[in-house]
Amino acid sequence: MKAARKYKIDGRVQGVGFRAFVQHAANRLGVRGWARNLADGSVEVYAIGTPEQLAEFAGLVRQGPRFAEVRTVEELEAALEHWSDFLIR
């Protein structure tokens, strides 16, 4: 059973490889979707996977790469869309 989530990550998350980190984590876990920078300096992530995949993925999103500083993560349920990969937008 697939589910979808949207995450808005605030902190020092642009210019530190955050989207590439998230893409790598998604590919390793079999999660599909996308990540993009927002104009306010945050990163938005849309992810599709099983509840177990999304739980592990959310933990990695909250951690981020070595040079990131994740301050807050807003996690919301999202409508299920069809994505065959995880893209950086």
Q: Output the average pLDDT for the chain.
A: 97
Is 12 an active-site residue?
no
Output the pLDDT for position 82: 92
Domain range holding 54? Answer: 3-88
pLDDT at 48: 98
**From 12, 19, 27, 66, active-site residue:** 19
Report, as ranges of residue numbers, the positions in the chain whose pLDDT lies below 50: none
State how far the alpha carbon of 32 is from the alpha carbons of 19, 36, 43, 69, 76, in Å: 13, 14, 16, 24, 16
Number of domains in the chain: 1
Catalytic residue among 12, 28, 37, 66: 37
Return the pLDDT at 76. Answer: 97
Annotated catalytic residue 36: no
CATH number of the domain bearing residue 26 = 3.30.70.100
Q: Which residues of 53-72 are buried (b: 16+ CB within 10 A; e: fewer)?
A: bbebbbebbeebbeebebee
pLDDT at 23: 98
Structure pTM? 0.96
